């Protein structure tokens, strides 16, 4: 009797069935369930990242808005100053001119020489971007002009170096009162190294629009505390060169500019007399 032997295919199939799942790849165990504390920590991190992104964007928009507002305020002050000057010129044209031509030429020559403005040893200046007038000492021995400043703080805006400061003033200084404690911001043009007996220091230099009589120039000022000095502003020869001549025997040859909130120009005489009294006392 013939025995029926299983075929090779039958044996292979039986082997596969016996091995079962051993031929299938092993599955990775499922991750452990997230606990409530871990879930809350992830939510907190997500909320923190979203909040930081919103705050950064909002601060940048606020900085840009503040910069535009300051520029607009400076333009408004400048327009107001031009309007007041225009009204004065119109009023002058309406007055009868009973002065002889020689007298008028002599008067004009008192403040002009070879197309240069004559300045006294002290003068009034205006800062339209800040909105105030200040006393300035004229000093051809100094290279760069200087503005009295306190609480000078460096910061960065749009990748550039800026400073924030307040005007360094004494109670006796003549100024528009509303700007005494006002913060002023400006980009740093450069820094200068000052060598003194007490050592060296680095001071920031900024540019501000300045008026002095008929002169209207953008002037570079170093920022440093001048509250121990008589004048909050010093005008150096970088500004004076080629446009002015100094008469050290005179003071305040040019009228004090007017700004909203400040006192009229005709009342400047009392403040100017203070300088004369101090000089007489020193003599």
Span 30-46, pLDDT tens digits: 777 778 888 888 888 88
% of the chain beyond a pLDDT of 90: 48
Average pLDDT across the chain, whole number:
81
| pLDDT tops 60 at residue 133 | yes
Q: Return the structure tokens found at 241.
A: 């060169």
Do 165 and 150 touch, CB atoms closer than 8 A? yes
Higher pLDDT, 60 or 130: 130
Q: What is the pLDDT of residues 206-245, one digit of tens each?
A: 999 999 999 999 999 999 999 999 999 999 999 999 899 9
Instruction: Give the pLDDT mean for 67-89.
Output: 62
CA nearest 252: which of 111, 119, 88? 119
Confidence category of residue 76, pLDDT binned at 50, 70, 90: low
- Residue 234's pLDDT is 97
Q: Worst-scoring range by mean pLDDT, 22-26, 116-120, 126-130, 163-167?
A: 22-26
* Predicted structure pTM score: 0.61
Instruction: Give the pLDDT mean for 164-182.
Output: 95
Higher pLDDT, 59 or 159: 159
| pLDDT tops 70 at residue 110 | no
Confidence category of residue 104, pLDDT binned at 50, 70, 90: very low
CA nearest 212: which of 271, 184, 266, 252? 252
Q: Return the structure tokens found at 229.
A: 């000095």
Instruction: Give the pLDDT mean for 134-143.
Output: 94
């Amino acid at each position: 009797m013939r025995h029926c032997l299983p075929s090779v295919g039958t044996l292979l199939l039986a082997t596969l069935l016996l091995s079962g799942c051993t031929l299938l790849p092993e599955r990775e165990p499922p991750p452990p369930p997230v606990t409530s504390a871990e879930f809350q920590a992830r939510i907190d991190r997500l909320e923190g990242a979203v909040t930081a992104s919103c705050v950064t964007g909002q601060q940048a928009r606020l900085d840009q808005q503040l910069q535009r507002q300051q520029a607009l305020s400076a333009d408004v002050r400048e327009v107001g100053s031009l309007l007041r000057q225009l009204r004065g010129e119109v009023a002058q044209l309406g007055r009868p001119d009973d002065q002889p031509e020689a007298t008028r030429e002599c008067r004009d020559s008192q403040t002009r020489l070879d197309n240069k403005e004559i300045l006294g040893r002290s003068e009034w200046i205006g800062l339209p971007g800040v909105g105030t007038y200040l006393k300035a000492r004229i000093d051809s021995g100094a290279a760069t002009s200087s503005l009295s400043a306190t609480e000078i703080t460096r910061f960065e805006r749009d990748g550039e170096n800026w400073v924030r400061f307040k005007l360094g003033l004494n109670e006796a200084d003549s100024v528009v009162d509303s700007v005494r404690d006002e913060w002023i911001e400006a980009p740093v043009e450069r820094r200068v190294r000052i060598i003194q007996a007490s050592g060296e220091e680095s001071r920031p230099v900024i540019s501000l629009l300045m008026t002095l009589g008929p002169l209207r120039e953008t002037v570079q000022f170093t920022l440093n505390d001048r509250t121990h000095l008589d004048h909050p502003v010093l005008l150096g020869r970088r500004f004076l060169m080629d446009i002015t001549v100094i008469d050290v025997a005179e003071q305040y040859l040019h009228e004090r500019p007017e700004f909203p909130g400040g006192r009229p120009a005709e009342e400047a005489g009392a403040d100017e007399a203070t300088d004369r009294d101090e000089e007489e006392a020193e003599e």
